[in-house]
Amino acid sequence: MPKESFFKNRVRSVGFAFKGLFLLLRTESSIKIQFVIALLVTGAGFYFEISTTEWILQLFAIGMVMGIEGVNTAIEKLSDYIQPKEDPKIGFIKDISAGAVMIVSIIASIIGLIIYVPKLV
Protein backbone atom coordinates (compact mmCIF):
# COMPACT_ATOMS: atom_id res chain seq x y z
CA MET A 1 0.00 0.00 0.00
CA PRO A 2 1.53 3.36 -1.02
CA LYS A 3 2.27 5.93 1.63
CA GLU A 4 -0.26 8.77 1.89
CA SER A 5 0.98 12.19 0.77
CA PHE A 6 1.86 14.82 3.37
CA PHE A 7 -0.94 17.09 2.15
CA LYS A 8 -3.55 14.33 2.23
CA ASN A 9 -2.40 13.35 5.72
CA ARG A 10 -2.74 16.97 6.97
CA VAL A 11 -6.23 17.30 5.49
CA ARG A 12 -7.25 14.07 7.21
CA SER A 13 -5.80 15.31 10.53
CA VAL A 14 -7.75 18.55 10.27
CA GLY A 15 -10.88 16.50 9.62
CA PHE A 16 -10.28 14.49 12.80
CA ALA A 17 -9.72 17.71 14.73
CA PHE A 18 -13.02 19.17 13.51
CA LYS A 19 -14.73 15.89 14.39
CA GLY A 20 -13.32 16.20 17.92
CA LEU A 21 -14.46 19.82 18.17
CA PHE A 22 -18.00 18.92 17.16
CA LEU A 23 -18.05 15.93 19.52
CA LEU A 24 -17.01 18.21 22.39
CA LEU A 25 -19.65 20.81 21.55
CA ARG A 26 -22.35 18.19 21.09
CA THR A 27 -21.67 15.99 24.11
CA GLU A 28 -20.02 18.04 26.87
CA SER A 29 -22.16 20.48 28.85
CA SER A 30 -19.17 22.39 30.27
CA ILE A 31 -17.89 23.15 26.75
CA LYS A 32 -21.38 24.23 25.70
CA ILE A 33 -21.47 26.72 28.58
CA GLN A 34 -17.96 27.95 27.79
CA PHE A 35 -18.88 28.32 24.12
CA VAL A 36 -21.90 30.48 25.01
CA ILE A 37 -19.70 32.60 27.29
CA ALA A 38 -17.16 32.91 24.47
CA LEU A 39 -19.90 34.14 22.13
CA LEU A 40 -21.12 36.65 24.73
CA VAL A 41 -17.69 38.13 25.41
CA THR A 42 -16.97 38.21 21.68
CA GLY A 43 -20.16 40.20 21.23
CA ALA A 44 -19.11 42.45 24.12
CA GLY A 45 -15.75 42.96 22.40
CA PHE A 46 -17.49 44.29 19.29
CA TYR A 47 -19.95 46.36 21.33
CA PHE A 48 -17.24 48.03 23.43
CA GLU A 49 -14.80 48.24 20.50
CA ILE A 50 -11.95 46.73 22.48
CA SER A 51 -8.39 47.32 21.31
CA THR A 52 -6.30 44.88 19.29
CA THR A 53 -4.33 43.98 22.42
CA GLU A 54 -7.56 43.35 24.33
CA TRP A 55 -8.80 41.14 21.47
CA ILE A 56 -5.57 39.15 21.56
CA LEU A 57 -5.84 38.64 25.32
CA GLN A 58 -9.53 37.77 25.16
CA LEU A 59 -9.10 35.27 22.31
CA PHE A 60 -6.09 33.72 24.02
CA ALA A 61 -8.10 33.33 27.23
CA ILE A 62 -11.05 31.77 25.38
CA GLY A 63 -8.75 29.40 23.54
CA MET A 64 -6.93 28.37 26.70
CA VAL A 65 -10.12 27.64 28.65
CA MET A 66 -11.76 25.68 25.85
CA GLY A 67 -8.55 23.89 24.88
CA ILE A 68 -7.73 22.81 28.42
CA GLU A 69 -11.36 21.77 28.90
CA GLY A 70 -10.98 19.55 25.84
CA VAL A 71 -7.82 17.99 27.28
CA ASN A 72 -9.60 17.55 30.62
CA THR A 73 -12.48 15.78 28.89
CA ALA A 74 -10.07 13.48 27.05
CA ILE A 75 -8.29 12.63 30.32
CA GLU A 76 -11.62 11.88 32.02
CA LYS A 77 -12.82 9.68 29.15
CA LEU A 78 -9.51 7.82 28.98
CA SER A 79 -9.48 7.37 32.75
CA ASP A 80 -13.03 5.99 32.71
CA TYR A 81 -12.07 3.61 29.89
CA ILE A 82 -8.98 2.36 31.69
CA GLN A 83 -10.70 2.02 35.06
CA PRO A 84 -14.51 2.08 34.93
CA LYS A 85 -14.78 1.45 38.68
CA GLU A 86 -14.14 4.15 41.25
CA ASP A 87 -10.42 4.31 41.97
CA PRO A 88 -8.62 6.85 44.21
CA LYS A 89 -5.65 7.10 41.82
CA ILE A 90 -7.91 7.77 38.83
CA GLY A 91 -9.89 10.25 40.95
CA PHE A 92 -6.64 12.05 41.80
CA ILE A 93 -5.74 12.30 38.09
CA LYS A 94 -9.20 13.58 37.20
CA ASP A 95 -9.13 16.14 40.02
CA ILE A 96 -5.77 17.48 38.86
CA SER A 97 -7.09 17.74 35.31
CA ALA A 98 -10.17 19.62 36.51
CA GLY A 99 -7.90 21.85 38.60
CA ALA A 100 -6.03 22.85 35.44
CA VAL A 101 -9.33 23.97 33.91
CA MET A 102 -10.07 25.94 37.08
CA ILE A 103 -6.71 27.74 36.89
CA VAL A 104 -7.17 28.91 33.30
CA SER A 105 -10.81 29.79 33.98
CA ILE A 106 -9.87 32.03 36.91
CA ILE A 107 -7.16 33.75 34.86
CA ALA A 108 -9.56 34.16 31.91
CA SER A 109 -12.13 35.71 34.25
CA ILE A 110 -9.53 38.15 35.58
CA ILE A 111 -8.57 39.07 32.00
CA GLY A 112 -12.26 39.70 31.25
CA LEU A 113 -12.61 41.89 34.34
CA ILE A 114 -9.50 43.88 33.42
CA ILE A 115 -10.89 44.46 29.93
CA TYR A 116 -14.54 45.20 30.72
CA VAL A 117 -14.82 46.71 34.22
CA PRO A 118 -13.23 50.03 33.13
CA LYS A 119 -15.69 50.19 30.22
CA LEU A 120 -18.67 49.72 32.55
CA VAL A 121 -17.78 52.39 35.10
Lowest mean pLDDT among 1-10, 26-35, 91-100: 1-10
Query: Please, is 64 exposed, middle or buried when counting C-beta atoms within 10 Å of its C-beta (0-12, 13-18, 19+)?
Result: middle
| Average pLDDT value for residue range 98-120 | 97
State the CATH architecture for 6-120.
Orthogonal Bundle (1.10)
For the chain, the maximum distance between any two Cα atoms, rounded to a whole number of angstroms, is: 66
Burial 44-60 (b: 16+ CB within 10 A, else e): bbeeeebeeebeebbee
The Cα 63–Cα 21 span in angstroms is 12
Region 21-29: mean pLDDT is: 93
What's the whole-model pTM score? 0.86
| Residue 79 in this model has a pLDDT that exceeds 90 | yes
pLDDT tens, 42-75?
999 999 999 999 999 999 999 999 999 999 999 9
94 pLDDT tier (thresholds 50, 70, 90): very high
